[in-house]
């Protein structure tokens, strides 16, 4: 009887050992595959979130720079008279691209003979600041300025007529950026304001 009891005890011990050894073997293939899928999905989500963050950060930097460049033109024009102080509305846009020679807002209207209806003034290789200095650190940026007459009774509209017909103008700066020399300029922001005599 004692032998039988010992045999039962050893059989129970052997079963426990087999159960422990089965459990201690490791993960099953299904468990490993599920773990890989879950961890992989988490890593992909983190990478996608980081890419979205970098894209938004790049957009915010460009928009901030564009507003800075548009406000430089705004500061420059707010201190200028509408028309040439000597010749009046008859003489505008005749100074070429030399912004240092501009003495009135109407000079930003573009080439002479267009009546102020042309494309307007474009900054050259570099944009300029309110002191008319070239901003060489912004070589991929461009400021495009258009000047249009507006009716004092209705500031929300513009009309296609030569400059000099009213005492109010809307100045619009379109700030553009290009990735490289091979790319075209892309619109980033636009800023408009009204200038009066």
Sorted by where each begins, the domain ranges of the chain are 50-196
Q: Which residues pair with 41 in a beta bridge?
A: none
Q: What is the pLDDT of residue 170?
A: 86
Q: What is the pLDDT of residues 144-163, one digit of tens each?
A: 998 888 877 777 765 656 66
Highest mean pLDDT out of 5-9, 25-29, 125-129: 125-129
Q: What is the pLDDT of residue 160?
A: 58
Q: What is the mean pLDDT of residues 113-139?
A: 79
Contacts of 43 (CB under 8 A, 6+ apart): none
Tokens read off for 63: 């928009």
165: pLDDT strictly greater than 60: yes
Is the CB of residue 70 less than 8 Å from the CB of residue 191?
A: yes
- Which of 9-18, 44-53, 98-107, 130-139 has the weakest average pLDDT? 9-18
Query: What's the CA dihedral at 6, 10, 15, 21 to 10 degrees?
Result: 160
Rounded CA gap, 20 and 23, in Å? 5
Element (H, E) at 176: strand 168-177
Tokens read off for 144: 């495009």
Q: What is the pLDDT of residues 166-193, one digit of tens each?
A: 778 888 999 999 988 888 889 999 999 8
Looking up tokens 């209806």, which residue turns up?
Answer: 117
**Which residue, 70, 118, 117, 111, is CA-closest to 92?**
111
pTM of the entire structure?
A: 0.69
Q: What is the pLDDT of residue 64?
A: 92
């Amino acid at each position: 009887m004692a032998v039988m009891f010992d045999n039962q005890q050893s059989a129970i011990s052997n079963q426990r050992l087999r159960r422990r050894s089965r459990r201690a073997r490791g993960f099953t293939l299904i468990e490993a595959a599920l773990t890989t899928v879950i961890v992989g999905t988490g890593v992909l989500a983190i990478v996608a979130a980081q890419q979205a963050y970098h894209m938004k950060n790049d957009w915010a930097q460009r928009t901030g720079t564009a507003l800075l460049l548009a406000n430089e033109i705004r500061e420059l024009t707010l201190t200028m008279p509408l028309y040439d102080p000597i010749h009046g509305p008859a003489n505008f846009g005749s100074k070429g691209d030399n912004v240092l020679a501009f003495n009135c807002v109407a000079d930003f209207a573009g080439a002479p003979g267009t009546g102020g209806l042309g494309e307007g003034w474009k900054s050259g290789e570099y944009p300029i600041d309110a002191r008319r200095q070239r901003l060489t650190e912004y070589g991929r940026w461009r400021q495009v300025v258009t000047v249009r007459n507006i009716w004092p009774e209705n500031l929300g509209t513009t009309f296609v007529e030569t400059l000099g017909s009213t005492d109010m103008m809307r100045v619009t700066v379109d700030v553009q950026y290009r990735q490289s020399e091979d790319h075209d300029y892309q619109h980033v922001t636009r800023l408009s304001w009204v200038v009066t005599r």
